[in-house]
């Protein structure tokens, strides 16, 4: 199996707690040889990419605009999409699992898109969500960065 792709999603205006969690998640994903996918901007996206990059990992950013220079400094691959927040669907589609940290409406939309697509979502200090009646999707809550990564990677193993 090729390297797993894990999207780390969350707000571009992260609190210090959220940024620290995102950095830890990125570092844990790098240690597991997973590829970090994000929106490529600031906040949770930047912190997760920094954690991965600092620990030898690969990071991919799908930017909302057309300016590659808008991407954070820790991206291995920076892809400007020019489609604004619609790029949230691309982030989810590129992922084998999603780890949500903090977040605003964009994060909630990514969680919903992942759930609808059957992609595992692990929640770490983010929205409280539940699956609509009659659906199989669920968000799994984690209490730490190592747990979030462990659960995400184990869920990928169960779906591929």
Reply yes or no on whether the pLDDT at 85 is more than 50.
yes
Kindly list the structural domains of the chain, giving each domain's residue range(s) and its CATH number in brackets, ordered by start. Answer: 5-159 (3.40.50.450)
Per residue in 92-103, pLDDT (tens digit) is 999 999 999 998
State the pTM of this model. Answer: 0.93
Asked if 41 and 22 touch (Cβ cutoff 8 Å), the reply is no
For 18, 68, 84, the CA distances from 76, given in Å and listed in that order, are 22, 12, 21
- Asked if pLDDT for residue 64 goes beyond 80, the answer is yes
Q: Give me the pLDDT at residue 70, please.
A: 97
Residue 135 or 46, more confident: 46
Among 1-10, 16-25, 30-39, 150-159, the least confident range: 150-159
Average pLDDT, the chain: 92
Using CA atoms, how far apart are residues 145 and 151, in angstroms rounded to an integer? 10
CA distance 39 to 42: 9
The label of the residue with tokens 């920094």 reads 50
Q: What is the mean pLDDT of residues 138-149?
A: 92
The yes-or-no verdict on residue 74 having pLDDT over 90 is yes
């Amino acid at each position: 199996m090729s390297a797993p792709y894990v999207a780390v999603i969350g707000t571009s205006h992260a609190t210090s707690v959220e940024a620290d969690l995102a950095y830890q998640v990125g570092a844990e994903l790098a240690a597991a040889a997973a590829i970090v996918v994000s929106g490529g901007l600031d906040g949770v996206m930047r912190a997760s990419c920094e954690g991965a990059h600092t620990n030898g990992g690969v990071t991919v950013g799908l930017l909302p605009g057309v300016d590659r220079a808008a991407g954070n400094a820790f991206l291995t691959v920076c892809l400007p999409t020019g489609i604004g927040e619609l790029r949230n669907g691309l982030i989810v589609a590129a992922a084998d699992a999603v780890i949500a940290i903090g977040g605003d409406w964009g994060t909630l939309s990514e969680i919903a898109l992942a759930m609808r697509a059957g992609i595992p979502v692990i929640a770490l200090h983010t929205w409280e969500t539940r699956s609509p009646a009659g659906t199989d999707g669920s968000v799994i809550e984690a209490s730490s960065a190592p747990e979030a990564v462990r659960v995400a990677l184990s869920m990928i193993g169960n779906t591929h």
